[in-house]
Every structure is written in C-alpha cells, then in structure tokens.
Copies of this chain bind each other. A is one copy, B any other.
Amino acid sequence: MTTNKSRSRGRPRRFDPDAAVVTAQQLFHARGYDAVSVADVTDALGINPPSFYAAFGSKAGLYQRVLDHWTGTAAIPLGDILRPDVPVAVALAAMLEEAARRYASGPAAGGCLVLEGTRCSDEDAREAARALNLGAESFIRDYIAARHPDAANEVTDFVATTMSGLSAKARSGHDLPRLLATARLAGSALEKTLSA
C-alpha cells in the first residue's frame, strides 16, 4: 500500500500540495515568476490544470504559498545574524556576505526569490514579495536604529540597495567569489560609516 504522507486534514488528496510548493519554489527561484507558466508547474508535478487550481486558486496564490514556505526555510535568518552583542557594522557585513552566498548561482542560478519577485509583472505576486521585502528592511532598520538612530535610514537603504544589486548580478552570471568580494567591499564601507 502506498502511504500518502502529509495529508493536511482528513480529506485525502491524490497529490501533495506541500511537495508541489517545494517544486514550484525551485522553478520560481531558477527562472523568475514571469518566466514560469502554470503549464510548466503542472508538467513538473505531473498533474493537470484543474488539480492545480483546486489546490492553489491561481498562479499568484501558489506564489504566496511559496513565499510562506520560503520564509520558514530559505530566508536569511536575520534574527540570528543581526545580534545585539556584536558591532552593528560587523553584523551587517555578515548579512551581506550571507546574502552573497545564498544568491550565488549554484545549481539553480537565482539571486533572491523575494527581491526578484518584487520586479515581476503580476500585481498580486509583486505586492506579496514587496510586503515581505519591506518587512525585512524594517527589521534591519530597527536593528540599526537601536544603536545608530541617525544613520539608520541611509544605512538601511545602502544595504538594501547592495542586496538588490547582488541579486541582479547573481542572475547575470557573477559567481560566488565575485559576489563575496563585492559584499565585503560594501561591508567595509559600513565599518567606516558606523564607527562614529
């Protein structure tokens, strides 16, 4: 007998939506929201469109599920990296390096799923990604403001801009060493600015 792992409730399903989210996350991350069609997803999952729409409602609905899953598994753990017991500049530099590592074009060549999502053409998906990104930036801003209130806004903009650039360059072919060197150079600017 084939066991059906992870049924969300008593209601049985023929395919596993959670596994579908993982597959979809890989597709979206590798090729971007716009470039992945619903047909691509249904083909990858071996299902037909009605099953897809019964489970997710729409392409943007699937993307929302992917973002939810991503925050729990693949997002940079800001709470761990932005520690109160290290200098702010050191913590931010570590964050940029971690971003470089995660954006580097490995097997799935992708940049940041969220930052790239904020640039897609579908309004619902774009706003969902933007909301997530704004939340992360607020977290960073609050962290900086606790010890450097006057510099919080511009330093947040700087690291956010650097991360957007790193994601774009990862997508356009920069490999890990190049991204890391860029992240470190950006990090060195922080130590100078925040040493007041």
Partner-B contacts on A (CB < 8 A):
34-35, 115, 118-119, 121, 130, 153-155, 157-158, 160-166, 168-169, 171-172, 174, 178, 181-182, 185-186, 188-189, 192-193
- Within the assembled complex, what's the spacing in Å between the Cα atoms of A35 and B12? 41
Residue pair A121, B34 in contact (C-beta under 8 Å)? yes
Residue pair B193, A188 in contact (C-beta under 8 Å)? yes
CB distance from A184 to the nearest CB of B (A): 9
Total copies of the chain: 2
Residue pair A185, B189 in contact (C-beta under 8 Å)? yes
CB distance from A54 to the nearest CB of B (A): 29
Enumerate the 8 nearest inter-chain pairs by beta-carbon distance, A residue then B residue, closest first. A189-B189, A165-B165, A161-B165, A164-B168, A164-B165, A154-B181, A158-B185, A161-B182
Instruction: Find A163's partner among B158, B163, B165 (CB 8 Å cutoff).
Output: B165
Q: Supply 25 A–B pairs (Cβ within 8 Å), ascending by A.
A: A115-B168, A118-B172, A119-B119, A130-B172, A153-B178, A154-B178, A154-B182, A154-B185, A157-B182, A158-B181, A158-B185, A158-B186, A161-B165, A161-B166, A161-B168, A161-B169, A161-B182, A161-B186, A164-B165, A164-B168, A165-B165, A168-B168, A185-B193, A188-B189, A189-B192
